[in-house]
């Protein structure tokens, strides 16, 4: 299997980092836009889509700044991360998503994130 590559996506968001972080880091928030059902037990999140369940461990986080997950089925050096940054000049909140995919799949994976983020923005009223 080919080694996966890290890719990064950035989105401007019209909401406070505190509100955005809640949507990125809590089961209730993630269930609003990321998966059909989300549960968490001892820092392991279970994400359900159409009856299929995937689990991801929280490997690192900082309140209102970022949360990093690792799928339990992926290599230990692979992760997906939601990071919240502030643009220096405009003070705009920026959502930065980092994920891994095989080179041939980055475009498809990016489109999947685009769809998910549109759902997030809809929930946030953006």
Cα–Cα distance for residue pair 106/115, rounded to 1 Å? 14
The HSE-up count of residue 27 (CA atoms within 13 Å, CB side) is 15
Q: What is the pTM of this model?
A: 0.93
As to burial, measured by CB atoms within 10 angstroms (0-12 exposed, 13-18 middle, 19+ buried), residue 89 is exposed
- Note the pLDDT tens digit of each residue in 79-118: 999 999 998 888 899 999 999 999 999 999 999 999 999 9
C-alpha dihedral sign at 52, 99, 112, 12: positive
Instruction: Name the residue ranges covered by the structural domains of the chain.
Output: 5-124
Return the CATH number of 5-124, one of 3.30.530.20, 3.40.50.300, 3.30.572.10, 3.40.50.720: 3.30.530.20
Token pair of 63, please?
């309140």
- Note the pLDDT tens digit of each residue in 31-86: 999 999 999 999 999 999 998 999 999 999 999 999 999 999 999 899 999 999 99
Task: Give the pLDDT band of residue 30 (cuts 50, 70, 90).
Answer: very high
């Amino acid at each position: 299997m080919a080694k996966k590559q890290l890719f990064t996506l950035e989105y401007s968001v019209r909401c406070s980092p505190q509100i955005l972080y809640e949507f990125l880091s809590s089961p209730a928030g993630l269930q609003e836009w990321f998966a059909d059902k989300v549960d968490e037990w001892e820092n392991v999140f279970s994400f359900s889509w159409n009856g299929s369940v995937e689990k991801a461990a929280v490997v690192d986080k900082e309140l209102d700044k970022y949360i990093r997950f690792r799928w339990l089925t992926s290599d230990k050096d692979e992760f997906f991360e939601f990071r919240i940054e502030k643009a220096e000049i405009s003070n705009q909140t920026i959502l930065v998503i980092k994920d891994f995919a095989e080179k041939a799949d980055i475009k498809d994976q990016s489109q999947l994130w685009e769809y998910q983020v549109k759902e997030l923005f809809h929930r946030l009223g953006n």
